[in-house]
Structure formats: C-alpha cells, structure tokens
Amino acid sequence: MMRKAMIGIVTSLLGVPASAQPVTIAALGDSLTQGYGLAVEDGFVAQLQFWADAQGVEVTLINAGVSGDTTAGGLSRAAWTLTPDVDAMIVTLGGNDLLRGIDPDVSRANLMGVLKAAKAAGVEVLLIGMKAPGNYGPDYKARFDAIYPELAAEFGTLYLDDFFTGFGEAVNDPASLRPLMQSDGIHPNPKGVKEIVVGVGPKVLELVEIAVD
C-alpha cells in the first residue's frame, strides 16, 4: 500500500494514470507454489496468472516457490524476494514442516519473521494456512493449526485457511480426491491446480485491491 501510494503521487505529478501501474505479487512457498511435477504453464502461479488475466485484473505474479522449502527456508528468502517492485505477497509455507515434524513454535517464529519482513517493506500479505494431520497427536495439531489464523490477526493480513479450499468436500473423500492429485497423493495435477486457483483467486483479488489502495 505504501509503495503504491508513492507511485500514485509520482505518476500523478507526471500526468500518468495510476492504473498504468499493475500490482506485482510474489508467491512465496514450497513445491505447491513452485509447481512440482508439472509443466510451467500448469503450475499454481501460471494458472493463477491466467485466471487473474481472465478477470481483467492488472497483476503480475512472480513464482517464488522452492520445492522442499520449510518455513525456515522461506524466511531465509523473504528479504531478497521483497524487491522494490513487489507490492504484495502470497505466503504458503508449512507443509514441509509438517512432513518433518518440526516444533510448531519454530514454524510460528519463522512465519512471524516473514510477516515482519513484509511489514517492514510495506508489502501486503495473503497468508494461506494449513492443517496438521492427527498422527502427531492432538496437542501438536492444536498448536500448529492455530499458527496461521493467530498470525493473520496479529499482523492484519488477509487470510485463507486452506490452500486446498477449492477442492471442497473432495479433501475428505480419497476417491473424489484421486483425480485431482498426482500419483504421490501430495501434489495436485493440472486439474487439481485449476480447482485450487478457483478457491484462492477471490482472496488474491482482495489482495490486489488492498495493494492498490
């Protein structure tokens, strides 16, 4: 918001319409963001760009996803991801923390570091949450699941509770989920990505509006 406000002042002084400046969003994440196992055009960021273009939204999406990244990896990359041209950021991290059983307090601290970096840079954020499986026990699950809504409230970010929200009830039905996933059962296939984008897209439109204001 701060960056766009400054751009708006400069462009108005130059007689250039502010709408000539599209919003640039960096998608910081892991393999789900990066597009593991998919052709570039079938990945999440590319499909989200296609979707936004079809909505007539002036936005440029940057793929800052790294396969295998934990929240610690995301934190280590946050500063150089937040280049001066980035107006907003989508943060989708934590899946690999779950796979490794990392202490939720560590994951929380790392995500807090990412959000602090974004705040310091004047960059708006859409934080996308996830839920821990039950195999680590109820205490671990409760602590992990609480990270995302609590941080979103603390930092005043936009929040979406689940990257896979576009799957609807299919997430609870293995038979319905299978056609949307790759053979590993972890990463979406092109059809699944399209459903994910339908779920995430409206929140991204909100992010664009906030970044422009």
Q: Which residues are catalytic?
A: 31, 184, 187
Name the 3-class secondary structure at 182. Answer: coil
Q: What share of the chain is helix, strand, coil (3-state, %, to 5)?
A: 60, 15, 25
* Whether 114 contacts 64, CB under 8 Å: no
* Whether 82 contacts 117, CB under 8 Å: yes
Handedness of CA 178, 184, 186, 187 (dihedral sign): negative
How far is C-alpha 188 from the chain's CA centre? 15
Residue 182: CA count within 13 A, CB half-sphere: 16
What is the DSSP track for 104-141? HHHHHHHHHHHHHHHHHTT-EEEEE-----GGG-HHHH
